[in-house]
Structure 1
């Protein structure tokens, strides 16, 4: 019996940032900061603490050159390394702002940039850490920053205005970072789930191809083995009573016949597993039910009296139904029923169990990947149901989850004109 939830990809979607991306962003920041100080300091003649500003810019230049020297440009920084680099960018920007007016400097809005980059590329924990660092820097700039560079006496902002500015900046940093982080994490989860689904589908396709290859090998070997069998029979008829060779010839004939039986069995199994044959819907369900022989609860198949329509036995269809049936077997009390119904407009396959049913708070989210232990029953991730739903939807199916009077119910339905058989015929 196959497992409903394949192992999660370990490395896929691991948060991090490419060195090339980090270096490019920092060069842009250095260029923008330098140009700003040149225009405001030299062009407009505003006084600046040039030594402190020059040291802050030089530190960024040295760090960027060190990155180019120590890492290949295609390398990725993950975890603490990436967090430290973005934290450096925050601190460096905070130093420049503290020397030039603090939160009264219009460029203080750039504090949002490193935190947003973290929300896009790094983990939730790293982003929260950078949000805390950014807010701490804002507090320090509000309390201890140098006056805003100005010709003459710089304007004095009311305390209430400075408090409002600080609150607006802190809220903007937290809100934008939280929003971008949520969108990014959702995208990563779906990417992982879709790649896992593709891996499952490729495995199923390879197994089908292997079955076709076995059938071809059995067919090709049948000819030479038939010749060997005929010669063995001739030798047996002539040397059956020979004291020296009679026993060996008898053994040769038996083994040749045994080989033929093995090849016939391989050919039958391979033909059953041949890629995309058209089979009756109830035949496919019986085949899936046989996969659960010896399971904790029996799996029964219910089919209408009239002949059910045919479906294409694709890897997507078989694996999707198998995953959902496996989920039903795990939670059923005494039995699972696989049923097929059809009319002139619709073909439907039902998977029913007599277990506790789906939790009411989980029903709206079934089919989403990585539900988490708080949502998924028994601490599962929901990835198995997501994979099954995705594979079945590739055949044009609509999958519905609900609770019946007793137990869970899953309905997989196709319009008759777009059934799994019709879709494959149109596409192939």
Structure 2
């Protein structure tokens, strides 16, 4: 049982993270390091280098940076193709410089890992694979083809072939591992950021709805007395104007419109409760509120109370994250139930528990350990596609529900019931979600509302 994703993610492309200015600054640093390495090798160790070609290669990077600085704005963000071309240029420039200075015999050959590893964190998988494949080819060529490093006396500086082979193997393994690690880590961080943003938007929307409901309910409560006064006065006018039909008809119209205003306010909010009272409600009422949008979707939603104690039902905080999180779980269950969803409530002196069970096929066993991860997609079978062609689950809804409910202090457990029972018996055999709170986390008796709403001062004023 996965979740239909109501929050469309923007994808996994990350190329627009990098500004051109960042690339140019890194390139200036590399240019400075290359110049220092060549100067030290020539003046301190008297190595015979092809200085003209070395400076030509470094000059190409300088020209590229100058073109980027003067031709593009500083805040330009690179596209996927532009980012790839920039990194390929840096990789080729470094590779040619290594070719001129000993290939894999040069200890600075490890720097070839830099462009590939860094780009893996900001580019797509296709670009990362392409760049990694190019780097592997370059490293293999540098192991065989390069200009040797010579001392002032003409001696060639080189390490034994077994160490050259070891450097090649180590570089190849590092390229594969670091690239995959960087790409996977950055990809998960990006997906988590998108999922948290969707969670924030969902919570903000629920908070706004809750605030609007409180304002409407408070308005209905405050307007109740003047509307009752208008209704009473109009009734008295109707009695006094019984001998004047025209005026009596106007008084009747006033009374009718007052009744209509009261009905409108009652339909928009909960009359008789002020905004403080709307901040808490009985546990069953909150559960029914969360399930309300899914009551007419062709599935039976059964509310049950399995009491382990004789203590009265607790009043809990009507926090937006609790309502929205439970609503997501209910939608999830209704989407995949064959016909019935059970919502069980239970409480003790220390815990408040809500269990949501359906009679569907349950969670895929191989995904139970990953439930709650964002964008947890999987390939659907042909049978699943025909049964639910509109369904495109990504796991984001369950992630939002889990995040919001855990934010309220809950602990969630996902499991499956028995799959051996027949569907016609309407038995609880599908997915099971247990949401467990320490009672002091959501029980209104433990919050400031227990003191604030002890007496309804507004009603006393009327």
Q: Confirm or deny a common fold (TM above 0.5).
A: yes
Partner of 1:335 in structure 2?
A: 340
Query: Matches of 2:59 and 2:277 in 1, distance apart?
Result: 64
Partner of 1:179 in structure 2?
A: 181
Partner of 2:434 in structure 1?
A: 411
SS at match of 1:74: coil
Query: Matches of 1:267 and 1:100 in 2, distance apart?
Result: 78
Q: Are 2:393 and 1:380 aligned?
A: yes
Query: Matches of 1:270 and 1:53 in 2, distance apart?
Result: 84
Partner of 2:6 in structure 1?
A: 6
Query: Matches of 2:139 and 2:161 in 1, distance apart?
Result: 15
Partner of 1:214 in structure 2?
A: 216
SS at match of 1:291: helix
Structure 1 residue 319, shift from structure 2 partner: 1.0
Partner of 1:22 in structure 2?
A: 23
- Residues 355, 435 of structure 2: 8 Å contact kept: yes
Q: 2:261 aligns with which of 259, 266, 273?
A: 259
- Residues 352, 408 of structure 1: 8 Å contact kept: yes
Partner of 1:88 in structure 2?
A: 89
Q: 1:202-281 residue pairs with structure 2 within 5 A?
A: 202-218=204-220, 250-268=252-270, 271=273, 277-281=279-283
Bigger drift between 225-234 and 276-285 goes to 225-234
- Residues 399, 413 of structure 1: 8 Å contact kept: yes
Q: 1:335-374 residue pairs with structure 2 within 5 A?
A: 335-374=340-379
- Residues 209, 275 of structure 1: 8 Å contact kept: no
The count of corresponding residues between Structure 1 and Structure 2 is 426
- Residues 4, 395 of structure 2: 8 Å contact kept: no
Structure 1 residue 70, shift from structure 2 partner: 3.3
Gaps spanning 5+ residues in structure 2: where?
385-390, 419-428, 453-462
Query: Matches of 1:290 and 1:68 in 2, distance apart?
Result: 58
- Residues 86, 114 of structure 1: 8 Å contact kept: yes
Bigger drift between 5-14 and 15-24 goes to 5-14
SS at match of 2:156: coil
Change (3 A) 1:375 1:108: farther
- Residues 300, 338 of structure 1: 8 Å contact kept: yes
Query: Matches of 1:11 and 1:21 in 2, distance apart?
Result: 23
Structure 1 residue 213, shift from structure 2 partner: 2.6
Partner of 1:299 in structure 2?
A: 301
Report the TM-score when normalising by structure 1: 0.88
Gaps spanning 5+ residues in structure 1: where?
none
Structure of greater relative contact order (alpha carbons < 8 Å, 6+ residues apart): 2
Change (3 A) 1:149 1:375: farther
Partner of 1:33 in structure 2?
A: 34
Report the TM-score when normalising by structure 2: 0.82
Change (3 A) 1:423 1:168: farther
Bigger drift between 262-271 and 391-400 goes to 262-271
Query: Matches of 2:236 and 2:52 in 1, distance apart?
Result: 104
- Residues 12, 191 of structure 2: 8 Å contact kept: no
Query: Matches of 2:275 and 2:138 in 1, distance apart?
Result: 64
